[in-house]
Structure 1
């Protein structure tokens, strides 16, 4: 019986040993080889267009990484990291059973975890496959450690580990840390420098040399003590190393200028590329723009402004001359590593020029078209009525295309988008390179022209660059480049617009954007948008003042600027003209301080004719204000045959005229001050309008009244008649009437002046109204 028990226990032990042997052998069936641990980390040097150095970055992304073989690392650092992290690395396998036993014993005695037992191999496994500190993750870490040990020797493991060490911020590996912090290769580290760097990986977030010097020095002391214990140095060497004064490099991490640009370019370079890389950046210009970005943000800080970005493109070559992504790339607390040139934001009104150009190209509007900037309502499915307005919450009434675009009026822009169609406009934006507008047309709705989508400053700069090129001499013609070149080799290709149906429409939009008098209503004649030379410019402000933009160009350069906050926090009443425009102004003046740009060419094939400023039609003797506007020759016959109708003669002999606007302006006219020169000089019923249809709610018919409103009321009494029956005589401009079903004719008379409208009132289900609705997104400021 005893023999059977012994045999049973023996079998169990053998089975357990066999299971352990099988499990321990499995990693050798799927080993991780040294080649699998190799990490790309070749440093990339950059220079500007004249060969001036811009800096060296140590990886293709925004992390600094440089890989070197173990033989090119100072022995002092190797000894320091071994002493600090795994003193018996060369004596144990993937796991250190002695350290595990010690850790368990200490935990039992202290009733808490006192020390860990992770080996360098286990730490490398965690670097390869980061995971939360859970029991299952620890099992996976051990399994990966066994696989590494099964296929890789100790030196290769140590080399891979040292080249991946987190060294504070976005720095990885001892070579990158040595170059960034001390400006020397890892091979040249002395004992003091090596022990300081070996201290960082224990807690890289809170042992950053730039921010946490005292805690780092305390950890350095621990590393030096461990080196003494392991026999690498003696106490005298330890003390001298600890007391040695260490000088850190500036935070620029080896970058002189344009850090965002360098990382952006590096991410697009092929695996095999020349070194150094000569870029198109102009370093003196780059450093000037960087300084202006900081200064503008400093001046706007009281308005809760913390960031800005800018980009400059040479229109003659398509090359990027300056690229600033934030006020300070190295300011981590200010999210400085964020790239404001590439970040996606709502563009406000900066897309409007491309909408007007497309509408002109399709002949849906003409240069002399008049748009009604009046209160307008759009029905959004399953939502309240939306009434777009400008940030001033005022309306201009009848406005020409030139005035609407130059002053960035929202209601006219929405009207133009209704004519063009959201799908057609979205397609044109895709052709211009706005690849991040990926949603369906229904997603953006009519708000697309007001900035309901998200674009980048880079996309806006490319689009305005194309506008400048096509306006000058046609796309791809003359000496113009058909690509934006970020480096001399290779360039980044622009999306190509396959055919330009109407080159004159591009030039016409440029002419409107460069017309300082056209934008005077909103911006004034002497604003920061006005330069002492020809420049086309457009501002934009997103909802709640979160982003401000200014993008514009001369015949020589395109400049795009953005001012805002990376965290999306609203600014305090900062618009495009007060936020991004001053930065744009400074850059443009600097670019042209030695040579003014050539003027923009006139729209090809177009001719100028006088028009009545209010109606856009051929002026008559009654028109008090006449301006010049461009016309296509094919539209001249219509121009000649349709003179102005907004002003009508009352007495030609006495030179008396009255304003006679279409009915769509009645509601707007009713809200104008009585002293306004736009008020009708003749008696006019402003509300209701002929053809209006009103519905009585049968649940409460007695409380429903309709207001009759008049314009042009003088001091004489007004006689009101409804279906021929006099209902009142007074000198008021309005009268309330109790709604009654029927077909009604309202007549008013004051002296020799009179007017008439007809309308209907019904009880019950409402019939279709003659006025339609459409969808739109909330309005943005210009």
Structure 2
């Protein structure tokens, strides 16, 4: 009879452990560890680890994620030796500690010690439970699960990031930055002891509210470290003398719009940026100081980039994120706006590489019409003959349009798109000549990135917002063209010997103003940084009197002064930009645009210029303009020096350099064609038509609708004519008006349709139809 019993006992010894293991496996599947969060807390930090902005979880808690290596060893020593000396050895629970705590509680009649290990505390943080026997069993179960699935270091990391520190703070990283304003790697002995004890009673021991309580609890930890010989007695003594006093805690409040932008593109709980926290704080303070100077509903944007590494150091997307009247929540660094004139340097640089112009090429700042498009200058006037360098420095519009017309607007837009500057055009339209004056939308961050080509020897690089991003760059222009344009923008267009030429380039800058004064821009390149400035109204309404030089340049200069306020050692390490071998000094002559021998009568004005690959392209013609003829005119002369036909007896060929015909009104009498060309022979005259300057009407556009000011019965309209030949005659609705001058003033009263017409001595007519309402 005993034999069957022995077999039954053996059967139980086999089955019961299997049942127990099956039960544990089933419980683990039914109640898995709650390690993941649907909406975890996230934080964006500067390059040195300073928290910039935090995003709380669904419970309003924010954390600063750290690993064991991110925390001071002093804190780990204080935490483990005070909370759980046997942490590295026990399996998640310490039976001796639990028995000791229970015995102490029974003797005193109250809770003296909990006996919980760090693993058990992590279990309670992951899965909160009531302080009952059932809750304790649940905590033990979670602790065993933690020890089964995770390493000791992983469990400790969970504690470092989940321990409560009062209010909405969790984790030693967040507590260290908020309470102490420093990284948890830099804790002193006293600070490490303080943060080690705070989670025991985070609300009661908050050092910003109850410094006396916090200090008493901290001292208890310090004494324990001395008793256990963890820290030297002298060090503990010095730490005990250190008072606990903290200013009210400050939550991270820097770079909110950049933080939002990065969080939308990343799922990481801690996003490290390339921002310089002290500089970011200075830029935001500067923006707030500018707030009172801005017109109502206006905002601004500031972008600072180290053009050596292309790391973004400062990003201010609006003047004040809390000011809804100024649309503070809109990030104007990434907003698409009209760039005004800030694209002009690219057009001139690409034209230099294409051999179309050189820095002193003769360009035409004269009235022109391109179909229905008639651009003008910001100052509403025209300046006649100008060099490329002068046109760029003065930001003249017509020369830029002339160069872009020769280079090709579609090709220009494609070159910029290739390096990351994507211009936006209205639906159904394509790049045209207006894009050089702001006729296509662009983003400040992409514009600044493209400007890096002028500081990086012609290669435009993408911005780097995070340290791990690779440096991506593409060639946009030659190193020589980049060097020349940067020097022109820095006020060093005039060539000088290498011995006197500064190798550290001063601040180079370019402004822009969009149509209707909606956007004011300033882009700067100093020896180390790219600076991008935008001001305007985010809702795109005009701001009267707002323009790049007056609104954006003062802010650019203040930012540049902040960046230049560095030590002499830093200044000595500024990068240099020596003259490339492809750039040389040369002399050229106007109006032909090329060098001529001394004494040559065709050299009407000699200029010194930087030359790219020693190229001297002739003066750029303006295709599509009626009456335009190149600077070189071939004539045939008789023995008396008079013009004759080519087939006349004894005719001799001669080349005369003439100024482009549209420049005639701006030339002195001695330089005009009537003075430069020899007289015509009466015996054998050349068979050619006289050339005249096109006549243009200024002051009103074809099809314009004009309105009188409120309360006014009349409209004063001033019109003028440029170009043409000789006297002008003016007609309004077919009736002669005014005198024989270049302009008239009309006083209109009666609403209706009008036609104004100007006639010159050559028979040219310039007319416009408009309506008065």
Question: 2:362–2:385: 8 Å Cα contact kept in structure 1?
Answer: yes
Q: Residues 338, 187 of structure 1: CA spacing in aligned structure 2 closer, same or farther, 3 A cutoff? A: farther
Matched, 1:605 2:582: yes
The counterpart of 1:584, out of the listed 552, 556, 575, is 556
> What's 1:293 paired with?
287
Residues 73-98 of structure 1: per-residue CA shift (max 9 Å, x gap):
999xxxxxxxxxxxxxxxxxxxxxxx
The counterpart of 2:338, out of the listed 337, 346, 357, is 346
Q: What SS class does the counterpart of residue 635 from structure 1 fall into?
A: coil
> What's 1:268 paired with?
265
The counterpart of 1:689, out of the listed 688, 691, 694, is 691
Q: What SS class does the counterpart of residue 548 from structure 2 fall into?
A: coil
TM-superposed deviation, 1:486: 0.9
> What's 2:348 paired with?
356
Q: Which moved more, 1:277-286 or 1:594-603?
A: 594-603
Q: Distance in 2 between matches of 1:492 and 1:307?
A: 32
* Structure 2 length-normalised TM: 0.51
Q: Distance in 1 between matches of 2:563 and 2:265?
A: 28
> What's 2:424 paired with?
437
Residues 385-438 of structure 1: per-residue CA shift (max 9 Å, x gap):
321001211111122221222222111111222222222111111112123637
> What's 2:374 paired with?
387
Q: Distance in 1 between matches of 2:694 and 2:465?
A: 59
The counterpart of 1:328, out of the listed 314, 320, 323, is 320
Question: 2:483–2:579: 8 Å Cα contact kept in structure 1?
Answer: yes
Counting only pairs closer than 5 Å after superposition, residues 230-309 of structure 1 correspond to structure 2 as: 254-269=251-266, 271-272=267-268, 275=270, 277-299=271-293, 301=294, 303-304=295-296, 306-309=298-301
Q: Residues 409, 569 of structure 1: CA spacing in aligned structure 2 closer, same or farther, 3 A cutoff? A: same
Question: 1:659–1:682: 8 Å Cα contact kept in structure 2?
Answer: no
Q: Residues 545, 707 of structure 1: CA spacing in aligned structure 2 closer, same or farther, 3 A cutoff? A: closer
TM-superposed deviation, 1:584: 1.0
> What's 2:48 paired with?
50
> What's 1:630 paired with?
610
Q: Distance in 1 between matches of 2:588 and 2:297?
A: 44
Q: Distance in 2 between matches of 1:438 and 1:707?
A: 32
Q: Residues 559, 398 of structure 1: CA spacing in aligned structure 2 closer, same or farther, 3 A cutoff? A: same
TM-superposed deviation, 1:319: 0.8
Q: What SS class does the counterpart of residue 550 from structure 2 fall into?
A: coil
* Structure 1 length-normalised TM: 0.51
> What's 2:464 paired with?
485
Counting only pairs closer than 5 Å after superposition, residues 20-35 of structure 1 correspond to structure 2 as: none
Higher relative contact order (CA 8 A, sep 6+): 1
Q: What SS class does the counterpart of residue 340 from structure 1 fall into?
A: coil
TM-superposed deviation, 1:377: 0.7
> What's 1:137 paired with?
none
Question: 2:366–2:398: 8 Å Cα contact kept in structure 1?
Answer: yes
Residues 11-51 of structure 1: per-residue CA shift (max 9 Å, x gap):
xxxxxxxxxxxxxxxxxxxxxxx99xx97322223332333
Q: Residues 272, 176 of structure 1: CA spacing in aligned structure 2 closer, same or farther, 3 A cutoff? A: farther
Q: Distance in 2 between matches of 1:386 and 1:264?
A: 38
> What's 1:457 paired with?
444
> What's 1:506 paired with?
482
Q: Distance in 2 between matches of 1:509 and 1:288?
A: 31
TM-superposed deviation, 1:339: 0.8
> What's 1:556 paired with?
528
Q: Residues 511, 58 of structure 1: CA spacing in aligned structure 2 closer, same or farther, 3 A cutoff? A: same
Question: 1:72–1:186: 8 Å Cα contact kept in structure 2?
Answer: no
Residues 288-309 of structure 1: per-residue CA shift (max 9 Å, x gap):
111222223322x3x4462111
TM-superposed deviation, 1:575: 0.7
Q: What SS class does the counterpart of residue 607 from structure 2 fall into?
A: strand
> What's 1:374 paired with?
366
Q: Distance in 2 between matches of 1:51 and 1:709?
A: 68
Question: 2:351–2:357: 8 Å Cα contact kept in structure 1?
Answer: yes
Q: What SS class does the counterpart of residue 442 from structure 2 fall into?
A: coil
Q: Distance in 2 between matches of 1:708 and 1:404?
A: 21
> What's 2:304 paired with?
312
Q: Distance in 1 between matches of 2:722 and 2:345?
A: 40
TM-superposed deviation, 1:266: 2.0
Q: What SS class does the counterpart of residue 309 from structure 2 fall into?
A: coil
TM-superposed deviation, 1:509: 1.9
Q: Residues 709, 391 of structure 1: CA spacing in aligned structure 2 closer, same or farther, 3 A cutoff? A: closer
Question: 1:507–1:603: 8 Å Cα contact kept in structure 2?
Answer: yes
Q: What SS class does the counterpart of residue 630 from structure 1 fall into?
A: strand
Q: Residues 445, 284 of structure 1: CA spacing in aligned structure 2 closer, same or farther, 3 A cutoff? A: same
Residues 354-381 of structure 1: per-residue CA shift (max 9 Å, x gap):
22222222223333432211110121xx
> What's 1:661 paired with?
659
Q: Distance in 1 between matches of 2:535 and 2:400?
A: 24
Q: Residues 628, 436 of structure 1: CA spacing in aligned structure 2 closer, same or farther, 3 A cutoff? A: closer
Q: Distance in 1 between matches of 2:581 and 2:559?
A: 30
Question: 2:415–2:476: 8 Å Cα contact kept in structure 1?
Answer: no
Question: 1:426–1:441: 8 Å Cα contact kept in structure 2?
Answer: no
Q: Residues 333, 588 of structure 1: CA spacing in aligned structure 2 closer, same or farther, 3 A cutoff? A: same
Q: What SS class does the counterpart of residue 437 from structure 1 fall into?
A: coil
Q: What SS class does the counterpart of residue 295 from structure 1 fall into?
A: helix
Q: Distance in 2 between matches of 1:570 and 1:49?
A: 38
Question: 2:307–2:529: 8 Å Cα contact kept in structure 1?
Answer: yes
Q: What SS class does the counterpart of residue 430 from structure 1 fall into?
A: helix
Q: Residues 304, 336 of structure 1: CA spacing in aligned structure 2 closer, same or farther, 3 A cutoff? A: closer
> What's 1:416 paired with?
403
Question: 2:631–2:658: 8 Å Cα contact kept in structure 1?
Answer: no
Question: 2:694–2:724: 8 Å Cα contact kept in structure 1?
Answer: no
> What's 2:508 paired with?
536
> What's 1:766 paired with?
none
Question: 1:659–1:680: 8 Å Cα contact kept in structure 2?
Answer: no
TM-superposed deviation, 1:540: 0.6
Question: 1:534–1:599: 8 Å Cα contact kept in structure 2?
Answer: no
